[in-house]
Structure 1
Amino acid sequence: MVWQEQSHRHQRCPLTSRTLQGGTTTRMNVAFSELDFLKPELGAEYTGQGTHFAVFSAHAEKIELCLFSEDGSREAARLPLPKREGDIWSGYIEGLGPGTLYGYRAYGPYDPNNGHRFNPNKLLLDPYAKQVAGEFVWDDALFGYTIGSPEGDLSFDERDSAPIMVKGVVQDPNFDWDGEEAIRRPWTETIIYETHIRGMTMTHPAVPNELRGTFLGMASDPIIDHLVKLGVSAVELLPVQYFLDDRYLTERNLRNYWGYQPLGYFAPHARYMKGTRITEFKTMVKRFHAAGIEVLMDVVYNHTAEGSEYGPTLSFRGLDNLSYYRQSPEQPRHTYDMTGTGNTLNVAHPMVLRMVLDSLRYWVGVMHIDGFRFDLASALGREYMEFDREGGFFDAIRQDPILAGVKLIAEPWDIGEGGYQLGGFPPPFREWNDRFRDDVRRFWKGDGGVVPVLAERLAGSPVQFNHSGRAATTSVNLLSAHDGFTLMDAVSYAEKHNEANGEDNRDGHSDNHSDNMGAEGPTDDHRIDEARRRRRFAMLATLMVSQGVPMVLGGDELGNSQGGNNNAYCQDNEIGWIDWSRLDDTFLAFCRKIIAFRREHPVLRQENFLEGATDEHGRIEVAWYKPDGSRMDEAAWGDGELRILGVYLCHLSPAEAPAEEMFLVFNAGGDCDVALPSVHGSEIWQWALNTAEDDAFVAQRARERETIRAQSVAAFVPHDSGG
């Protein structure tokens, strides 16, 4: 079936004067100005005298701008965009100002078998909308085809979706950034704290009730004070771009808590705003910067909330399905899914790539964001179907003077063939290192044969990242993240417990490398609690003394648990939120001190990979040791029963500066006597860290042999260094 253009062709229609500049209370007609000019910007841009609208579609035959009443319930004007330059449709309306609610209708072929799904009965959100108004409620009228029809997605639905569809809002870009400057902290000084706007604030007793779950709550004094005292340098926020709750979740009274179903790449999510002004987001960023903390965003440019060909027509699908989404090579009717969500955004298309880049530049230039973590980033690197580290997406970012200077972090996989690409991204990208998480967990729970891979992780995973001129800070090391067990749950549960998700515990990872230490979940056994405490201390210390960039999951420093749920994506409730009422004061104090310990010792956070180089004094960068004080040899590396490893580190400084040295021991076995090495024949060591002690940071002179307690990390520095 090919749909033919029909209905409205009027260009003038009454509009409430609230949206017009000048404050008049009369009703007025609006029309596109004959003085319109082609502007390079897409979206709705307020110029001070009016608003310029521009939208991309390569295959549309006509696009109408629809303007709405103040509450969004009534379509007050429908005007065909008068200009087309290439595939950009545009028009300018004098006097139209901030607060205007708008959307688009796109006319063209409804020909799903050839990838076209135009349906002007469906109001479309501007992909460049800076704010989204209205509450999204699922309804069959939002679909371009008729749900329940025998023809399925080949049918055509004639219901108007405008009354129930969210709308874009024209924005005034002005904001007082006076005194605010980008921090641009070096990677060697970066410690990331991954958190969620609602999860961080909903139960904090000192955050005002009216601010909980909002950007302003995140920027409140209690939250910032906590993060400053903890010592982290950057917060990484789970998705805050406008997203939808999946229909199957709302039908089960659940929510898309994490936010990985984007629809508006330029708009802050309305759920996180106390009021109706996006300046609340800017206020949050400004407050974090004033506290010396960078703000990173988790962004989802690999797919959208429109899902597969059986999903709704809300924006991209209705504007130009064939351009915005990858289609099946065999049958363009079907979307090609490399993300597990039904569709894959076609960033190989130049205009879709432009949208992604424009979005990133907007968040940096207008919202003052400091960097991004790219969800399923392998999907962004696919040229047609294959991953290409020299592809257009990476080339575009690396040459961009705005984006090349901010922090860029890749989640290095997607679910498509060849999607796991750890180590395969070009600089300046850093990468989430899931192998660090898995191997450190395996080592501390006592798995055999893990010592060699532990050494790799401690050294910044050079096998994966030491190539192409990449820095030793390429690996973003983590013990836990939003996806998976919290640190507390990794030592409290042997199995996942996702029953609350309503999927019969089938969702989420089953191989978590976790250990309940003798009881599943909370226990009254003090010996088990002490063993869990000891292991958490050792694991966090391992994270903080490893080369690379450490990332802490928000709440881990408090001992937060999700009750064994390792996939809390839909739990916008006490399961997913941080529980501030049960904070572990002892562990929190240790977290603060171990983060400070990392900051105080540059030897733990070097820019270059440690390759065993020596300086003019014969000092070596790195050396690995057995408990008897001798160097690790082939037999030791192959010993599957070995559970302890020592490493000597040296920060080779310029000749005029002293070199910093440290000896570290990681003992996942029983108590063990360790001979402290005499690397240069004259070392006298002193304790700098002992996670087995209540006070892990007491400095005291060490003997030639010391007992390293079970499940602990020890660090020694030269005695004359002052610790």
Structure 2
Amino acid sequence: MNNAPLTPSPGRLEPWGAQARDGGVNFVVFAAHARALQLCLFDEQGAEERRYRLHGPTADGLWHGFVPGLAPGQLYGLRAHGPWAPAEGHRYNAHKLLLDPAAQEIVGSFSWRPEHHGYVLGQDPDTAFEASDNAAWALKARVPAPMPALRPAQHKPRIAAAERVLYEVHVKGFSQQHPGIPPELRGTYAALAHPAALAHFKRLGITTLSLLPVHYALNEPMLPPGLVNYWGYNTLGFFCPTPRYSRTPQDPAAVNAEFRAMVDALHAQGLEVVLDVVYNHTPEGNHFGPTLSFRGLDQRSWYRIDGTGRPLNWSACGNTLNFAHPQVVAFTLASLRHWVQVMGVDGFRFDLAAVLGRGTEGGFDRDHPFFQALDTDPVLKEALLIAEPWDAGPQGYRVGDFPGRWLEWHDRFRDAANGYWLHKPTPHGEVSRTEFAARFDGSAETYRDRHPAQQRAPQAGVNYLAVHDGYTLADLVAYERKHNHANGENNRDGRDNEVCANFGVEGPSADPAVLATRLRVRRALVATLLLAAGTPMLGGGDEVGNTQHGNNNAWSQDNPTGWITWPDPADAAAGAEAAAFTAFIGELNALRHQQPLLRPGAFSEIVRRWEGLVYGDDTPLLCHLHRAGEAAGAAPLLIAFNRSAEVLPLALPPGRWQVLLCSEPPDLTPPPATAGAPLPPRGLRVLQRLP
């Protein structure tokens, strides 16, 4: 190869990455502080063929060039020339081949090698410059072919905010042990669109799948043997689906096609697809980390840097992407548009989303340019936006502070609901009846009153009981301490203060009384979730009693611990229990759909009057519901809660009442709903006054 770089024509300044057009390929890369940027072309065997010096940087820090004669399928990487000045935040090292941040197709098998570091591994990362070439082992981008057009936008489901029910699920974990999905499909995108999966989603009555990360991610370098980053919160390729979940992982184009086919099949069943996205950090880590892409292009622009030139760690993962820089914002918007326009998804759940709103001075800004751009972007202005509303930086807990259009994970609902039914204190103290009622009513003080001009609805709060980073619902009622030894960190990882209870036996039990109590509480919890005001989110697998055996941080468990435990077809009793719990969730979602009083679109729409807020567990807690402006007796609902272990008398108001739902397990017949009818222990009941 002749290392003397060729000079391409300037080409166009958009879009990001590589685009085949006009008989060649156009390239656009951001690297504001680079002194030169080389485009390196490789053959299919990974041998470098030639180099081009891109034009730039523009005033916006972009490098660009058009190479005629190139075609889709061309492999390429980048080499950035610039200062090695770690104290100033610059770690340029042209010996390192860099991945295009906007790569839509990524090829190669990554392994952690010393050559990927810009310094001599094991020595001072600020002084021991490392001059070996890593190209033989580096991941490479491949120029994508234009993808066929998506189905017309009118074929996308249109879910009203008050109707939405989320289901958080891992693509692989859902199907890896599913007995109704063919073995050759298990663990893949295609499996999530299999008729058995679609039928299950319809039985549950959910509207929206919230997929754990599917962007191209790397494993951490120091994981014990047999463990991987199963959850995928370590993104390197923000335009590229991971091949891990594909039937054809060696063919990036086929991976893209399989992902799009999955989305299309889910849409055809009226289901939305939301992606969990991780724009807060990358796998390059702190100053001890490798030089794979962003760091080598322009560490000081891509990442937030402290006064010593090192990355700030507001993500608790080593580095933090710099949303105070307009090109980082532009890159993220381009990535989001790609997933909506090209891959067909309906929205995003943003991991550690407080990072996205941190301005130049580091504080959180509800009027941040990124938030404003989302509202005006013609592609993204209707996408569903869900925040994990915190990060690990200063004043990072921002629940209730995101702009009006956003939904937010509501951890206070989780703690209040779990603490109430499990009789356990939360990090905020004991759960009073008043606290429980406020969370059940939609947390008006958080979403209506904190920023009144936004006029946020109860749906702004995403209510949940159990999600990926914690106990499963079944484990919440079976363990009182975490059991994370399999993660290789001596049980130090995972939350220590998670609300949980074992009801007398730690872990599995054969005691019928213990099992009956656990089942009652699980049913009461999920009923509370789906009857409360807000946007409910179910944890994938909780409907079938999925367990992680007390592991509340199974991020590295790509094995039966992390996969959904579906009932063994040969175990009739387990299958019947799972089917009954799944049916119960479907019944709850059907009731939610049928009764507008259970899903208010505004805080002023429904009147909720509580009885028993000041009493103890020897009396029921009652919630009366009717529409604003209507007489209380017009057609009200009554929800009666009994968290005690005793049967309580339920004195109904005058009139005829019909039981719409009882959380009792199905093998127990609910008593008639007459005045003075007993209220079952550890359960709730929904009743409606008859005309």
TM-score range, shorter chain: over 0.9
Give distance in 1, aligned partners of 2:620 and 2:121: 61
Q: Which residue of 2 aligns with 1:321?
A: 299
Residue pair 1:446, 1:643 contacting (<8 A) in 2 also: no
Q: Which residue of 2 aligns with 1:629?
A: none
Query: For residues 71-124 of structure 1, what are the alpha-carbon distances to aligned partners after superposition, in whole Å with 9 as ceiling and x for unaligned?
Result: 4x2112211113543221111122211111111000010111111111111111
The alpha carbon displacement at 1:695 in A equals 6.6
* Amino acid corresponding to residue 387 of structure 1 in structure 2: F
Secondary structure of the structure 2 residue equivalent to 1:622:
strand
The verdict on how the C-alpha distance between 1:64 and 1:660 changes in structure 2, with shifts beyond 3 A counting, is farther
Mind listing any 5+ residue stretches in structure 1 that lack a counterpart?
A: 1-6, 13-30, 614-619, 627-631
Q: Which residue of 2 aligns with 1:688?
A: 660
Give distance in 1, aligned partners of 2:349 and 2:265: 21
The question of 1:609 aligning with 2:603 is answered yes
Q: Which residue of 2 aligns with 1:452?
A: 434
Pairing partner for 1:132 from 85, 89, 106: 106
The alpha carbon displacement at 1:641 in A equals 5.5
Pairing partner for 2:497 from 511, 527, 546: 511
Secondary structure of the structure 2 residue equivalent to 1:496:
coil
After superposition, residues 450-599 of structure 1 pair within 5 angstroms as 450-466=432-448, 467=452, 468-582=454-568, 583=575, 584-599=578-593
Residue pair 1:449, 1:640 contacting (<8 A) in 2 also: no
Pairing partner for 1:405 from 382, 395, 398: 382
Residue pair 2:228, 2:557 contacting (<8 A) in 1 also: yes
The verdict on how the C-alpha distance between 1:697 and 1:245 changes in structure 2, with shifts beyond 3 A counting, is farther
The question of 1:243 aligning with 2:237 is answered no
After superposition, residues 157-176 of structure 1 pair within 5 angstroms as 157-176=130-149
The alpha carbon displacement at 1:580 in A equals 1.4
Give distance in 1, aligned partners of 2:2 and 2:553: 47
The verdict on how the C-alpha distance between 1:715 and 1:621 changes in structure 2, with shifts beyond 3 A counting, is same
The verdict on how the C-alpha distance between 1:653 and 1:362 changes in structure 2, with shifts beyond 3 A counting, is farther
Give distance in 2, aligned partners of 1:106 and 1:292: 46
The alpha carbon displacement at 1:259 in A equals 0.5
The alpha carbon displacement at 1:176 in A equals 4.7
Residue pair 2:5, 2:38 contacting (<8 A) in 1 also: no
The alpha carbon displacement at 1:39 in A equals 3.4
Give distance in 2, aligned partners of 1:547 and 1:677: 23
Secondary structure of the structure 1 residue equivalent to 2:649:
strand
Q: Which residue of 2 aligns with 1:711?
A: 682
The alpha carbon displacement at 1:674 in A equals 1.9
The verdict on how the C-alpha distance between 1:309 and 1:195 changes in structure 2, with shifts beyond 3 A counting, is same
Q: Which residue of 1 aligns with 2:427?
A: none
Secondary structure of the structure 1 residue equivalent to 2:34:
coil
Residue pair 1:300, 1:375 contacting (<8 A) in 2 also: yes
Secondary structure of the structure 2 residue equivalent to 1:248:
coil
Q: Which residue of 1 aligns with 2:572?
A: none
Give distance in 2, aligned partners of 1:174 and 1:435: 43
The verdict on how the C-alpha distance between 1:122 and 1:450 changes in structure 2, with shifts beyond 3 A counting, is same
Identity %: 41
The verdict on how the C-alpha distance between 1:486 and 1:176 changes in structure 2, with shifts beyond 3 A counting, is same
The question of 1:360 aligning with 2:306 is answered no
Secondary structure of the structure 2 residue equivalent to 1:389:
coil
Pairing partner for 1:664 from 630, 639, 651: 639
Residue pair 2:260, 2:343 contacting (<8 A) in 1 also: yes
The question of 1:649 aligning with 2:638 is answered no
The alpha carbon displacement at 1:586 in A equals 2.1
The alpha carbon displacement at 1:652 in A equals 4.3
Residue pair 1:486, 1:561 contacting (<8 A) in 2 also: yes
Give distance in 1, aligned partners of 2:2 and 2:501: 64
Give distance in 2, aligned partners of 1:695 and 1:170: 59
The alpha carbon displacement at 1:660 in A equals 5.1
Residue pair 2:524, 2:682 contacting (<8 A) in 1 also: yes
Q: Which residue of 1 aligns with 2:31?
A: 57
After superposition, residues 193-272 of structure 1 pair within 5 angstroms as 193-249=167-223, 251-272=224-245
After superposition, residues 72-87 of structure 1 pair within 5 angstroms as 73-86=46-59, 87=61
Give distance in 1, aligned partners of 2:140 and 2:287: 22
Secondary structure of the structure 2 residue equivalent to 1:368:
coil
Residue pair 1:49, 1:96 contacting (<8 A) in 2 also: yes
The verdict on how the C-alpha distance between 1:49 and 1:506 changes in structure 2, with shifts beyond 3 A counting, is same
The alpha carbon displacement at 1:284 in A equals 0.8
Secondary structure of the structure 2 residue equivalent to 1:580:
coil
Pairing partner for 2:348 from 366, 372, 376: 372
The alpha carbon displacement at 1:704 in A equals 2.3
The question of 1:282 aligning with 2:260 is answered yes
Secondary structure of the structure 1 residue equivalent to 2:336:
helix
Residue pair 2:617, 2:643 contacting (<8 A) in 1 also: no
The verdict on how the C-alpha distance between 1:449 and 1:93 changes in structure 2, with shifts beyond 3 A counting, is closer
Q: Which residue of 1 aligns with 2:281?
A: 303
* Amino acid corresponding to residue 225 of structure 2 in structure 1: R
The RMSD of aligned alpha carbons is 2.1
Pairing partner for 2:127 from 154, 175, 185: 154
Secondary structure of the structure 1 residue equivalent to 2:349:
strand
The alpha carbon displacement at 1:8 in A equals 7.1
Q: Is the radius of gyration larger for structure 1 or structure 2? A: 1
Query: For residues 591-622 of structure 1, what are the alpha-carbon distances to aligned partners after superposition, in whole Å with 9 as ceiling and x for unaligned?
Result: 22112121111111111114xx7xxxxxx711
Q: Which residue of 2 aligns with 1:24?
A: none
Residue pair 1:175, 1:279 contacting (<8 A) in 2 also: no
Give distance in 2, aligned partners of 1:365 and 1:60: 31
Of 208-217 and 436-445, deviating more is 208-217
Q: Which residue of 2 aligns with 1:616?
A: none
What is the aligned residue count? 664
Pairing partner for 2:71 from 92, 97, 109: 97
Query: For residues 506-543 of structure 1, what are the alpha-carbon distances to aligned partners after superposition, in whole Å with 9 as ceiling and x for unaligned?
Result: 10001111000110111111110111111111001000
The verdict on how the C-alpha distance between 1:56 and 1:176 changes in structure 2, with shifts beyond 3 A counting, is closer
Pairing partner for 2:18 from 26, 44, 54: 44
The alpha carbon displacement at 1:41 in A equals 1.2
Secondary structure of the structure 1 residue equivalent to 2:371:
helix
Of 685-694 and 406-415, deviating more is 685-694
The verdict on how the C-alpha distance between 1:152 and 1:590 changes in structure 2, with shifts beyond 3 A counting, is same
Give distance in 1, aligned partners of 2:556 and 2:203: 31
Give distance in 2, aligned partners of 1:566 and 1:184: 35
The verdict on how the C-alpha distance between 1:108 and 1:314 changes in structure 2, with shifts beyond 3 A counting, is same
Query: For residues 106-155 of structure 1, what are the alpha-carbon distances to aligned partners after superposition, in whole Å with 9 as ceiling and x for unaligned?
Result: 00101111111111111111011011111111100000111123x33322
The verdict on how the C-alpha distance between 1:140 and 1:646 changes in structure 2, with shifts beyond 3 A counting, is same
* Amino acid corresponding to residue 667 of structure 1 in structure 2: N
Q: TM-score when scaled to structure 1?
A: 0.89
Q: TM-score when scaled to structure 2?
A: 0.93
Pairing partner for 1:113 from 65, 68, 87: 87
Give distance in 2, aligned partners of 1:586 and 1:218: 22
Q: Which residue of 2 aligns with 1:19?
A: none
Give distance in 2, aligned partners of 1:542 and 1:482: 20
Residue pair 2:419, 2:431 contacting (<8 A) in 1 also: no
The alpha carbon displacement at 1:651 in A equals 3.2
Give distance in 1, aligned partners of 2:668 and 2:396: 42
* Amino acid corresponding to residue 592 of structure 1 in structure 2: G
